[in-house]
Every structure is written in structure tokens, then in C-alpha cells.
């Protein structure tokens, strides 16, 4: 792979500018979920272990180039120190960082204030990037989730200092490479969720790369409707019918098998305990909506999973937030988890609702890799070049 890792760098006595994502949820001045903080710990420990001094650069919220005190990263300090088991000094301004003597820099780790307080960050201003570069000797990017943005701290810096990927970035890149870069075949993709319109580029890219594409969730309704099937009151983008037909044609040309639901679970309302029934996908009652895939569809997906060597998944197969419309998502997730555990499948998944659904199914632990990167993960699935990753490539 074309990027350096911490293993390739000499860090002894070096100041390591480390871009991290600690954009954590906060309520009443406290971090409510420290997952993102915990995930950067291996990288920071590794840098410390190699004799380097981590100087953390991160953003928090969207202050749009101005100092917004409610968006200060200071709020993350206690959670950061706790997760690291090391002292962290908070550096409020770049001037303070520039004036700092070695003695003042005595803490194990330094954390710079919200980098988006500076307009040069999001503008990827070369002068701003150069100013940041002076604060360090080496650049380490551990923020895959911010890699789809070409900002000074995610892209510009990589050109100005010896650059490498942090452990989290490395794990993400290796997992993604195994799933779409150079995957074991056959490769199967599962794409679900609400709408086709939000996942057009993703579907377009996948049909050219994978051997089997399962389409589920609300977007499957659009594909069914595009084939002339009446989907009643289901969520459906009728104006996307032409696009859906184009995607199916592209799949045929590329030799990608598209798997749509054969049977579906329908209800008259989307509410817990609403009476539901299973019908063939061609027979949705005019006054009902499709809220999940049925058992025949699940069996078809299970067979495909057994044949597959690699799985990439984004989007739930049904309206999983409310039982019983989580059944198909749960069953497919548990099947993928079991095959992964047995060693016959490499499984990678990402997306906000997808991660929630896989957790709810109790399947997330067994997946090979779960990406929490959101937008960056989706752009990667769309086949786009991520500027933060491209800049690391040597
Ligand atoms: P992700 O966040 O993982 O990218 P999406 O946001 O695209 O996933 O899709 C998740 C949403 O899709 C969920 O809110 C789910 O309820 C909805 N959804 C799935 N299937 C259906 C359906 N048949 N009808 C309506 N909504 C659905
Ligand atoms: Mg979502």
C-alpha cells in the first residue's frame, strides 16, 4: 500500500503533529460518548513509546473560521487524559504554541484549540499550513473520518512534513483495501437505507466492482417500481425510475447480479406493534407500505453470503428502528457475523444507521471492520479520491 505508517518513521525526540477526530458528543459540559477519543489512544501511545511528542490537532463543531467559545476543545481534556492515562496540556492559541519552551511543553501530550477557529484551516491556506508545519517535525494523520476534506490540517500539512498514517487511519485503509481495493472474490455489497437519491454515486460505483449487489430498504421500492411493480404507499422515488433502470443495465453489462426482495413485510402504519403481513414483492396492497424484506429474501441473501468471500454493507434492509421491521436486517447481520467468525467472510460495514443496526443485531463485534467515518466512508464507497488519503500516498 502506498502510505507510510508509524513503523516507517523515526520519532525519537520529534514533535509529531497528529490530526485526530475527537469531535465527540457533549452535553452540559461533559463528553457523553468517548468512543472517538478511545480510538486514537493506540496512536498516541505508539508515538509516546517511540519517544515522540504528540501535538494533537482536531476540530470541534463548525465555528466557520471564528473563535466560538462553546466550541472549545477544552471540554474534551478530562476524557482525553482519562483515556490516555497521561497528562495533556491544552494550548489555547497558535501564538502560545509558537512561543512555547520545552519546559512549558512538559506535559506528555499537547492539544491545540479547535483548529477550525482559524479561517485558513478549511480554506487549506498554504500560509496557514506552513505556520502549523513549523510547530512539528513529523505529521501523522489519524483522522480518516475527516479525510474527505482538503483542509490545512488534513491535506496541506501532509505536503510540508514527513507524513504517515496513524494506527486508526491505517486500520481503516487496510480494511477498505481488503473490501474494494484488492478483495477476495466473489464480492457482495448490501446497500439499503431510505433513498436512492442519496446513494446514486455509491450504487453506480459498486455495480462496476462487485459480483453481487443486494438492494434493500426504502430504495428497493424505487427499483421495484422501476420494473412496473405497484408499491402502494411505500417510500418510493418515482422520479428515480429511469436512474434505477440505468443502474440495472450497467450491472448487467458489468456482470454484477442485482438481488432485489422477492417478498416483503407490509403494514398500514409505521408504528411499534402495527399489524403487518408478508406478501410477494409484486403484491403490495395499494393502501400499505413496504417496511422490511421478507423471509424468502433473507434466505436468498443468506445463500449469497455463503458464496461470498467479501462483504461490504451500507444501509439497513428495512425500517429497523421499529420491531418487527428490523427482522431482515438482524437476520442478515447475524448470518454475516457467523460467517466472519467462521473465517469464510471478510465483512466491512459503515454508515450511521448501519452501525446502529448492526449493534442492535448484536453482530457488530464479529464484523471484520466497522467504519465510524460517516461521510468519508461513503465517499470511499463511491470510488472518490479522499484528499487526506491521497496526500499521504508516497
Ligand atoms: P446509513 O445512515 O447507514 O447510511 P441511511 O440513512 O441511508 O443509512 O438509511 C437508514 C434509514 O432508512 C433508516 O432510518 C430506516 O428506517 C430507513 N429505511 C429502511 N428501509 C425503509 C423502508 N422500507 N421504508 C422507509 N424507510 C426505510
Ligand atoms: Mg443515516
Q: Compute, in angstroms, the gap from residue 262 CA to the centroid of ligand 1.
A: 19
What are the φ/ψ torsions at residue 369 (nearest 5 degrees)? -155, 135
Domains of the chain listed by start with CATH number: 6-167 (3.40.50.1260), 183-381 (3.40.50.1260)
Give the pLDDT mean for 249-255. 97
Ligand nearest to the CA of 378: 1
d(CA 274, CA 30): 38
Please report, for the chain, how many H helices and E strands are present, in that order.
Answer: 15, 17
Assign 182 a pLDDT band (cuts: 50, 70, 90): confident
Assign 234 a pLDDT band (cuts: 50, 70, 90): very high
- 36 catalytic? Reply is yes
Q: Of 4, 131, 195, 341, which one is the catalytic site residue?
A: 195
User: What is the percent of the chain where pLDDT is above 90?
Assistant: 92
Ligand nearest to the CA of 267: 1
Element (DSSP H or E) covering residue 204: helix 200-207
d(CA 39, CA 370): 12
What are the φ/ψ torsions at residue 3 (nearest 5 degrees)? -135, 155
Ligand nearest to the CA of 375: 1
Quote the pLDDT of residue 343.
97
**Ligand 1 pocket mutation pick from 191, 192, 194, 329 by most atoms within 8 angstroms of CB:** 194
d(CA 90, CA 82): 14
pTM recorded for the entire structure:
0.90
Helix (H, G, I), strand (E, B) or coil at 31: strand
Q: Compute, in angstroms, the gap from residue 199 CA to the centroid of ligand 2.
A: 11
User: Is 1's pLDDT higher than 60?
Assistant: no
321 lines ligand 1 (CB under 6 A): yes
Selection from 185, 176, 181, 120 nearest residue 153 by Cα = 120
User: Is 311's pLDDT higher than 60?
Assistant: yes
Helix (H, G, I), strand (E, B) or coil at 289: strand
Quote the pLDDT of residue 104.
64
Assign 372 a pLDDT band (cuts: 50, 70, 90): confident
294 lines ligand 1 (CB under 6 A): no
Q: Of 61, 352, 374, 383, which one is the catalytic site residue?
A: 352
**112-149 per-position pLDDT tens digit:** 999 999 999 999 999 999 999 999 999 999 999 999 99
Query: Which residues lie across from 163 on neighbouring strands?
Result: 139
Q: Which residues surround ligand 2, an ion (CB under 5 A)?
A: 352-353
Q: Compute, in angstroms, the gap from residue 252 CA to the centroid of ligand 1.
A: 26
Assign 394 a pLDDT band (cuts: 50, 70, 90): confident
The residue that leads in pLDDT, 273 or 335, is 335
Q: Return mean pLDDT, the chain.
A: 95
User: Is 68's pLDDT higher than 70?
Assistant: yes
Per-residue buried b or exposed e for 115-154, using 16+ beta carbons within 10 Å of the residue's own CB: bbbbebbbbbbeebbebbbebbbbbbbbbbbbbbbbbbbb
Give the pLDDT mean for 316-323. 96
**254-306 per-position pLDDT tens digit:** 999 999 999 999 999 999 889 999 999 999 999 999 999 999 999 999 999 99
| Mutual angle of helices 77-84 and 41-49, in 10-degree steps | 60
Burial environment of residue 341 by CB neighbours within 10 A (0 to 12, 13 to 18, 19 or more): middle
Q: Compute, in angstroms, the gap from residue 164 CA to the centroid of ligand 2.
A: 31
User: What is the percent of the chain where pLDDT is above 70?
Assistant: 99
Atom 24 (ligand 1) nearest CA: 218
Measure Cα distances from 388 to 22, 133, 385, 392 in Å: 17, 16, 9, 7
Amino acid at each position: 500500500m502506498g502510505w507510510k505508517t508509524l513503523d516507517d518513521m523515526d520519532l525519537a525526540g520529534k514533535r509529531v503533529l497528529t490530526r485526530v477526530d475527537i469531535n465527540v458528543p457533549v452535553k452540559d459540559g461533559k463528553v457523553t460518548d468517548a468512543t472517538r477519543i478511545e480510538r486514537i489512544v493506540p496512536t498516541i501511545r505508539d508515538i509516546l513509546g517511540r519517544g515522540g511528542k504528540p501535538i494533537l490537532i482536531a476540530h470541534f463543531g463548525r465555528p466557520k473560521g471564528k473563535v466560538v467559545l462553546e466550541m472549545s476543545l477544552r471540554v474534551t481534556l478530562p476524557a482525553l487524559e482519562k483515556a490516555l492515562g497521561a497528562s495533556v496540556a491544552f494550548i489555547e492559541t497558535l501564538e502560545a504554541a509558537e512561543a512555547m519552551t520545552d519546559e512549558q511543553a512538559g506535559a506528555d501530550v499537547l492539544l491545540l484549540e479547535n483548529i477550525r477557529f482559524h479561517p485558513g484551516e478549511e480554506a487549506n491556506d498554504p500560509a496557514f499550513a506552513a505556520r502549523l508545519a513549523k510547530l512539528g517535525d513529523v505529521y501523522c494523520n489519524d483522522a480518516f473520518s475527516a479525510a474527505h476534506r482538503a483542509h490545512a490540517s488534513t491535506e496541506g500539512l501532509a505536503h510540508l512534513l514527513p507524513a504517515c498514517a496513524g494506527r486508526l487511519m491505517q486500520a481503516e485503509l487496510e480494511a477498505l483495501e481488503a473490501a474494494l481495493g484488492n478483495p477476495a472474490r466473489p464480492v457482495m455489497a448490501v446497500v439499503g437505507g431510505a433513498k436512492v437519491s442519496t446513494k446514486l454515486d455509491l450504487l453506480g460505483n459498486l455495480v462496476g466492482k462487485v459480483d453481487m449487489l443486494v438492494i434493500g430498504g426504502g430504495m428497493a421500492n424505487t427499483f421495484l417500481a422501476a420494473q412496473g411493480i405497484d408499491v402502494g404507499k411505500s417510500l418510493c422515488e418515482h422520479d428515480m425510475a429511469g436512474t434505477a433502470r440505468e443502474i440495472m443495465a450497467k450491472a448487467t453489462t458489468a456482470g454484477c447480479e442485482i438481488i432485489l426482495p422477492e417478498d416483503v413485510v407490509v403494514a398500514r402504519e409505521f408504528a411499534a406493534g402495527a399489524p403487518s403481513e408478508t406478501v410477494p414483492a409484486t403484491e403490495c396492497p395499494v393502501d400499505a407500505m413496504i417496511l422490511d424484506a421478507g423471509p424468502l429474501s433473507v434466505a436468498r441473501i443468506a445463500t449469497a453470503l455463503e458464496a461470498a468471500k467479501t462483504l461490504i454493507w451500507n444501509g439497513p434492509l428495512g425500517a429497523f428502528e421499529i420491531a418487527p421491521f428490523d427482522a431482515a436486517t438482524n437476520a442478515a447481520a447475524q448470518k454475516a457475523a457467523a460467517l466472519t467468525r467462521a473465517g469464510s467472510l471478510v465483512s466491512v460495514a459503515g454508515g450511521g444507521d448501519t452501525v446502529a443496526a448492526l449493534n442492535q443485531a448484536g453482530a457488530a463485534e464479529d464484523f471484520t471492520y466497522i467504519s465510524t467515518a460517516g461521510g468519508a466512508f461513503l465517499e470511499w464507497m463511491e470510488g472518490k479520491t479522499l484528499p487526506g488519503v491521497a496526500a499521504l500516498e508516497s
